[in-house]
Chain A
């Protein structure tokens, strides 16, 4: 049996082309302004041959995780309650719109003013920016819930808790998972920006440090290695998890 895969060749050509172009352009600049691919790789190796680098990455991951978990919890609960209780829905509707339209960068600055240089500032920034997206998404999900299944559960006399657990929340899972992946991508970008202004240690702080030292090579080395880590988490953890949760959707092929 042949595995049908997306053609590898076009992707490979574009990757090699990009590296070549990068190499050629980098010849015209200082390594600290625009490093070549090989130089960048040596900077990455230099960073991670130094043990504190792992602590820095760990600290940033910790904040991302805290911000993400809080955003998902707060966002999903509010979205669910808004969907189940229309009065709550119209009550929070305008609040969520305000939060969604408020400039994200303002939160990054405001949280430093309010919380100072601490873990709290980046986490607060992540939560305020991300949870409204989760809320909107989950709220949207509640509108697509199947009334017929709720009726079925009522006929069989399911209590509210059983209804929520086995009937309603499973219907929201697609929305929760799409929120999770968007939130993750948003969270780590926000974390870095926020850390640049308001953290004692973290990848964002490193970027700020090397920015002030006018070292584009080191900024790129940190940026690229963190990006790779985030893509790995998305593919290895989130996508796999999603696949397992939705195993029931795979219809048998005769």
Chain B
């Protein structure tokens, strides 16, 4: 049995061109293995197919060829649980905060007896204790995204997908959320696949960073960030790492666009 949570082999995905006459490859022979319990980031420019990749893993988009496998934690036969934090919170605004989390628990067929404990545990974890009965529209954007994170964690997923979850927030809130996420992950250790266009965000949060190029997207660099966590956002080692990666990125992008 492998210790991988995600195994992707020669994945390809075609999209029709805007004219509809032909098709181009968004993803071509993409390979990716993520070890269980790892925080992995995929960094790439906007429109490189990162979200498409997450949607394929999540099962809401089809792919043309290749193999995508999410390995369930206990007993490989049970269907893997997938948690997803989207760019926008995507909460059900007509349900209270706790009912939004219960919705995910009910969807996953998690026994009713465990609902209250899960709701409390994960709302506490994201710092929203006391907001159970509030409606999402009464919360700030940052708090709504915290509810979305609690919802995704509450199902105790085999893999947690995060698609630029802080990109819609103002920079100060986003920064606080990143630090808080790091602390949340001291209590819960899901496997995370985090997609972002920000190298700084990726090196700050992740243990593994995969860099993606555009059209067709392929992973051209894999890097392990060995700085122990929790990390400080101002850690000079992170800055150095980011600087090196930016250089490398531009070299590849220039070559690709030529």
Q: Which of B27-35, B64-72, B92-100, B188-196 contacts A (4 or more CB under 8 A)?
A: B92-100
**Is B106 located at the chain interface by the 8 A CB criterion?**
yes
Say yes or no: A158-B58 contact (C-beta < 8 A), given A148-B86, A170-B92, A251-B138. no
Docked CA distance A173–B95 (Å):
13
CB distance from B182 to the nearest CB of A (A): 24
Query: Which of A153, A166, A251 has the largest count of B CB atoms less than 10 A from its CB?
Result: A166
Within 8 A of A (CB), among B49-97: 55, 58-60, 79, 82-84, 86, 88, 90, 92-95
**Is A28 located at the chain interface by the 8 A CB criterion?**
no
Q: Are the C-beta atoms of A155 and B103 separated by less than 8 Å? A: no
Docked CA distance A156–B156 (Å):
12
- Complex interface bits, B114-151 against A, C-beta within 8 A gives 1, otherwise 0: 00000000000000000000011110000000000000
In the bound complex, residues from chain A placing their C-beta under 8 Å from that of B137 are: 248-251
Q: Are the C-beta atoms of B92 and A157 separated by less than 8 Å? A: no
**Is B107 located at the chain interface by the 8 A CB criterion?**
yes
CB distance from B144 to the nearest CB of A (A): 12
Query: Of A148, A158, A159, A247, which contacts B88 at CB under 8 A?
Result: A148
In the bound complex, residues from chain B placing their C-beta under 8 Å from that of A249 are: 93, 137
Q: Are the C-beta atoms of A154 and B59 separated by less than 8 Å? A: yes
Q: Are the C-beta atoms of B138 and A158 separated by less than 8 Å? A: no
Docked CA distance A135–B82 (Å):
37
Say yes or no: A248-B94 contact (C-beta < 8 A), given A153-B107, A157-B108, A166-B103. yes
**Is B26 located at the chain interface by the 8 A CB criterion?**
no
> How many residues in A have their beta carbons less than 8 Å from beta carbons of B?
22
Docked CA distance A148–B88 (Å):
9
Q: Which residue of chain B has the shortest Cβ distance to A246 in the bound complex?
A: B94
In the bound complex, residues from chain B placing their C-beta under 8 Å from that of A252 are: 138
In the bound complex, residues from chain B placing their C-beta under 8 Å from that of A98 are: none
Within 8 A of B (CB), among A151-171: 151-159, 162, 166-167, 170
Prevailing SS type, chain A contact patch: helix
Q: Which residue of chain A has the shortest Cβ distance to B81 in the bound complex?
A: A157
Query: Of B94, B107, B135, which contacts A170 at CB under 8 A?
Result: B94
CB distance from A231 to the nearest CB of B (A): 29
Say yes or no: A155-B58 contact (C-beta < 8 A), given A149-B92, A170-B94. yes
Q: Are the C-beta atoms of A158 and B103 separated by less than 8 Å? A: yes
Q: Are the C-beta atoms of B107 and A159 separated by less than 8 Å? A: yes
Docked CA distance A240–B42 (Å):
50
**Is B155 located at the chain interface by the 8 A CB criterion?**
yes
Query: Which of A152, A154, A252 has the largest count of B CB atoms less than 10 A from its CB?
Result: A152
Q: Are the C-beta atoms of B155 and A156 separated by less than 8 Å? A: yes
**Is B169 located at the chain interface by the 8 A CB criterion?**
no
Known: A153-B107, A157-B79, A159-B107. 10 other contacts (CB 8 A): A152-B84, A153-B103, A155-B82, A156-B103, A157-B108, A158-B103, A158-B106, A247-B135, A248-B95, A252-B138
Contacts A/B (CB < 8 Å), 28 sampled? A148-B90, A151-B55, A151-B90, A152-B86, A153-B103, A153-B107, A154-B59, A156-B82, A156-B103, A156-B155, A157-B82, A157-B107, A157-B108, A158-B107, A162-B103, A166-B92, A166-B95, A166-B103, A167-B92, A170-B94, A170-B95, A173-B94, A247-B135, A248-B95, A250-B137, A251-B137, A251-B138, A252-B138
Which 10 pairs, one residue from A and one from B, show the smallest C-beta to C-beta distance?
Answer: A158-B107, A156-B107, A248-B135, A152-B90, A170-B94, A252-B138, A155-B84, A155-B58, A156-B104, A248-B94
